[in-house]
Amino acid sequence: MSFLTKIVKNDAMKNDPPQIYNWRVYVLSCSACFAGMLFGMDIGIIGGVLKLDTFRHMFGLQHLDKVGGANLEANIVSTLQAGCFIGALAASWFADKFGRRVTLFGCAIIAIVGTVLQAASMGHLAAMYIGRFVSGVGVGAASMVNPLYTSENAPRAIRGALTGLYQLFIVTGVCIAFWINYGNLLHVKGNAQWIVSLAMQGLPAVFLALGMLVSNESPRWLAKTDQWEKATATLGRVRNLPGDHEYVQAELHEMREQLEFEARLTGGSGFWDLQKEMWTIRGNRNRALLSIGLMVCQQMTGTNAINYYAPQIFANLGLSGTETGLFATGIYGIVKMITCSIFLLFVADSLGRRKSLLWTSIAQGACMFYIGFYVRFDPPQVGADVPPAGYIAIVMIFLFASFFQFGWGPVCWIYVSEIPTARLRATNVALGAATQWLFNFVVARATPNMMATVGEGGYGTYFIYGSFCFSMFFFTWFFVPETKGVSLEKMDEIFGVVDTKISDSERGLPQGGSNLDDEKFPVATHVESRN
């Protein structure tokens, strides 16, 4: 706890009981975040597999021209995103109906089935497409439920770090995937190269399934479904406090108060009632649109263009040879993992969400523009040594990865999972996750063609993604408020659903409000100025 107080600087850390920062909440978050590793290994494995000669021979890629090969590669990659989009949307209903824990377990089983189909495809494109689509359904559904589940269990002072673990597990999965591909290239022969790589995608799904077997359900979902006794017991266990402890009771009181108030807004909890609540109430509508905007921005940085096609991009910058490209891609994965860890540990709940997004927008755009200028004016020559400007361009790829992990990577998942109201949290996170996968699909499908057609060496690709990065600064400046250290139940006060000046009697609550000790457990409602 003393370590946390030194690195996490927010009001909630100063006021909340130290017992709530216990091993249970970390183990629970890590168990759920194997969903992120599943995501990362899926997107990291396929980029290297596509460059393996054995895979290209088995699926006929070596006989296609430049554009034809780019189209087939894009189809193989983007089929996963199509499944992810559907999975993310469908998961909302399952998460609300059956619970977050059960839904995550189901996601793991679906992903395992898809992995088996891919590894057993043996040159049959139809089997490969079906396998990647099925895996995508599991990956997409898990990408929606995991941040939701983690944020609903996390203490407010470190919610950013715990929810952001999802992004850390993504980049860890990407890193592991890159080195799996590199190791297979060096030490495995024949079709086993790509079969082993594709089969290894299923390991995080196995760990996710095992983790959910021993994890608790979200206390906020239990409260939402009127299982208050279970919610009290679960919350007490996660917080490492007795169920009748005043801190636990304060948190339960906030849940009850918010759920009752939200229910009075529309008078029902059916699908159309919730849609009415989301789109006709200004504060809820703003949150939904903000979630969509953040996820569009995250993908349009171009990060997954590098994740999926890193070996090709490094080759375009002058690193020749499959082995060299995969090695550089492996280093790229390590950089992402280390920088994301630093962000979550020292920055997420101290510097906060808004400032992290602002400065990284500019930094990412500068990196992309440098690479674009290099490819445009001093392109690498086939067979020639990489010039100094080329090595700087390669360093810019690594810097871009670092900047992304200090802002647009983890912060978007943190933000989208923490700002919705209780009744709309699953629906809102599903909307954000589905948007992420839709634009992930756009990037995965478009990037190979852009690299082949938008200027010599694809230099225009970097200018396009860099321009998006610069524009994100203004989006954040005008539309994204700070939320660090604010409890989930107090997000309404930031986004305008609840008028905090309305009296308790007008809100239908007992006169005098809560009998909790507000001085001992103050609500962190201060919001940093946007300016």
For residue 383, the model assigns a pLDDT of 64
With CA atoms as reference, report the closest residue to 459 among 386, 393, 388: 393
Residues 6+ apart with CB under 8 A from 28: 150, 153, 215, 216, 238
Tell me how far apart the alpha carbons of residues 332 and 336 are, in angstroms, rounded to a whole number. Answer: 6
- Tokens for 142, please give them: 């898990």
474 burial class (0-12, 13-18, 19+ CB within 10 angstroms)? exposed
Task: Count the helices and strands in the chain (H runs, E runs).
Answer: 24, 0
> Fold for domain 19-215?
Growth Hormone; Chain: A; (1.20.1250)
Tell me how far apart the alpha carbons of residues 441 and 136 are, in angstroms, rounded to a whole number. Answer: 11
Tell me how far apart the alpha carbons of residues 346 and 39 are, in angstroms, rounded to a whole number. Answer: 24
- Tokens for 18, please give them: 């130290």
- Tokens for 367, please give them: 């990196």
CB atoms within 10 A of CB 264: 10
For residue 510, the model assigns a pLDDT of 37
Specify the domain boundaries for CATH 1.20.1250.20 within the chain: 19-215, 273-495
297 and 475 in contact (C-beta within 8 Å)?
yes
Tell me how far apart the alpha carbons of residues 234 and 78 are, in angstroms, rounded to a whole number. Answer: 40
Question: Percentage helix, strand, coil, to 5, in the chain?
Answer: 75, 0, 25
Residues of the chain with confidence (pLDDT) below 50: 499-531
pLDDT tens-digit profile of 222-254? 998 889 999 999 999 988 889 889 889 998 998
Cα distances from 451 to residues 65, 79, 380, 462, in angstroms, run 14, 20, 15, 9
pLDDT tens-digit profile of 343-373? 887 777 777 788 999 999 999 999 999 989 9
- Domain covering 273-495: architecture: Up-down Bundle (1.20)
- 3-state secondary structure (DSSP) of residue 508: coil
Residues 6+ apart with CB under 8 A from 72: 59, 61, 64
With CA atoms as reference, report the closest residue to 193 among 58, 334, 331: 58
Expressed in angstroms, the distance from the first to the final Cα of the chain is 32
69 and 183 in contact (C-beta within 8 Å)?
no
345 and 7 in contact (C-beta within 8 Å)?
yes
Residue type, 477: W
Q: What is the dihedral of CA 416, 222, 225, 295, to 10 degrees?
A: 10
